[in-house]
C-alpha cells in the first residue's frame, strides 16, 4: 500500500457548524436508546451489581439474545457455554458488555436506511470487519479492554450513513467522482460537500456524548497523524480499516484500499510476522459476528 501523503489540502479540518446543522435537521437519527443509557448508568454506578445490570439487559430481548450469542461465539472463544446474561456480564466484563450493547443498538437504529447509494449490507459487514480487526490487532499489542477497539472500528464510518440520509444528492456526486477518477471517497466527499464522513461521525458521537476516544478514532481514521489525543486508537482503526478493505470484508462504498499512514504504522509497533495468524483469527470471528449482528435485519 502506498504511504499517506505528507500534506493534503483536502484534509484541512473544517468548521463544525454545517455538520451540526446537518445533524439537527435529521429526524431519522434519534438519541441513543433508553436501554443503552440505562445500562451505561448501571455500569458507571459503583454500587450496581452484576445481577442488576443483567436484569436491565434482560428487558431487551434482541439485545439479550445477541449478547448471549456473542458470548458463545468465536469472538470470545470461551471453553464452556454461557447460559445466562448475568453469567455473560460476569465473564465478559461490565464495560465490555456496555460497549457491545452500544454496537448492537446503533446497528438497529440505522436498519431502515435504503440501499439507493450503496449496499448497506456490505457497509455493515465492513464496519464489523473493521471492528474485529482493530480488536484482534489491539490484542497483539496487549491493550486492556480490547472491546473499545471493536466499538471504535465498528462506528468509524457511521458518518457516511448520515451523509446518505441528510445529503443524498451530494453524496451521490461524491461517489460518482470517486468512481470516475479514482479519488478516494473521503477526499471526494470533501471536494463536493466541504467535509467528510469522518467529520460527521465524530460530531455525531460528540452529540451522543460517547467517549472522546471513539470520536477521535472516527475523526482521524484517514489521517491518524493529526490525532493529538487518542493517537493509538486512531492508528489501530486506521490500520484495521485498511486491512478490512484488503481482506474484502464487506465494503463502505470505497473501491480502493486507503493509503497507509507511516506514522500510524510506527505507533502500533506490530511485527509483520503476526499478520498471518491475525488474519486467520479475523476471518474466523467475522463469520460468527456478522450472523449475530445482522441476522434480524433485511441485510
Residue 207 belongs to what H/E stretch? helix 197-207
Residue 71 has pLDDT above 90, yes or no: yes
Q: Does residue 146 sit in the same domain as residue 78?
A: no
149 with 101, same domain? no
What separation in angstroms does the CA of 43 have from each of 90, 149, 174, 215, 228?
Answer: 12, 19, 41, 21, 29
- Residue 287 confidence (pLDDT): 93
Is position 8 within any domain?
no
Mean per-residue pLDDT for 58-73?
A: 93
CB 289 within 8 A of CB 252: no
Q: What is the pLDDT of residues 193-210, one digit of tens each?
A: 999 999 999 999 999 999
pLDDT value, residue 3: 45
pLDDT at 11: 42
Mean pLDDT to the nearest integer, 68-94: 93
For residue 7, being part of any structural domain is answered with no
Pair 105, 39 in one domain? yes
The three cell numbers locating residue 216 = 477521535
Taking the C-alpha atoms of residue 243 and residue 187, their distance in angstroms, rounded to an integer, is 19
State whether 108 and 122 are in the same domain.
Answer: no
Distance CA 150, CA 289 (A): 11
69/197 Cα distance (integer angstroms): 31
Q: Domain count of the chain?
A: 2
pTM, rounded to two decimals:
0.90
The residues with which 260 forms a beta bridge, in sequence order, are 3
Q: The dihedral of CA 158, 164, 167, 171: what is its sign?
A: positive
Secondary structure (3-state) at 49? coil
Query: What are the tens digits of pLDDT across the range 226-277?
Result: 999 999 999 999 999 999 999 999 988 777 788 899 999 999 999 999 999 9
Same domain, 172 and 78: no
Give me the domain span that covers residue 145: 13-28+115-299
**Residue bearing the bigger pLDDT, 255 or 136:** 136
Q: How confident is the model at residue 179 (pLDDT cuts 50, 70, 90)?
A: confident
- pLDDT > 90: percent of the chain: 74
Amino acid at each position: 500500500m502506498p504511504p499517506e501523503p505528507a500534506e493534503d489540502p483536502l484534509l484541512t479540518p473544517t468548521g463544525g457548524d454545517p455538520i451540526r446543522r446537518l445533524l439537527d435537521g435529521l429526524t431519522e437519527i434519534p438519541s441513543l436508546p433508553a436501554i443503552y443509557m440505562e445500562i451505561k448508568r448501571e455500569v458507571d454506578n459503583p454500587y450496581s451489581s452484576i445481577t442488576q445490570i443483567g436484569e436491565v439487559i434482560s428487558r431487551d430481548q434482541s439485545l439479550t439474545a445477541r449478547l448471549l450469542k456473542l458470548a458463545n461465539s468465536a469472538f470470545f472463544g470461551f471453553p464452556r457455554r454461557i447460559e445466562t446474561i448475568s453469567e455473560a456480564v460476569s465473564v465478559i466484563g461490565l464495560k465490555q458488555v456496555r460497549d457491545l450493547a452500544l454496537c448492537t443498538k446503533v446497528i438497529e437504529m440505522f436498519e431502515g436506511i435504503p440501499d439507493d447509494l450503496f449496499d448497506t449490507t456490505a457497509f455493515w459487514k465492513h464496519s464489523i470487519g473493521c471492528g474485529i480487526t482493530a480488536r484482534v490487532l489491539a490484542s497483539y499489542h496487549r491493550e486492556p479492554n480490547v472491546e473499545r477497539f471493536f466499538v471504535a472500528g465498528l462506528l468509524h464510518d457511521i458518518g457516511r450513513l448520515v451523509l446518505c440520509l441528510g445529503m443524498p444528492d451530494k453524496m451521490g456526486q461524491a461517489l460518482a467522482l470517486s468512481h470516475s477518477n479514482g479519488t478516494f471517497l473521503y477526499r471526494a466527499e470533501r471536494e463536493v460537500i466541504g467535509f467528510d464522513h469522518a467529520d460527521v461521525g465524530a460530531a455525531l458521537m460528540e452529540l451522543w456524548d460517547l467517549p472522546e476516544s471513539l470520536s477521535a478514532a472516527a475523526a482521524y481514521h484517514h489521517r491518524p497523524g493529526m490525532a493529538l489525543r487518542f493517537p493509538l486508537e486512531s492508528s489501530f482503526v486506521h490500520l484495521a480499516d485498511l486491512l478490512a478493505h484488503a481482506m474484502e470484508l464487506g465494503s463502505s462504498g470505497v473501491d480502493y484500499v486507503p493509503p497507509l499512514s507511516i506514522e500510524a504504522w510506527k505507533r502500533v509497533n506490530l511485527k509483520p510476522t503476526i499478520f498471518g495468524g491475525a488474519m486467520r483469527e479475523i476471518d474466523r470471528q467475522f463469520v460468527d459476528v456478522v450472523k449475530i449482528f445482522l441476522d434480524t435485519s433485511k441485510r
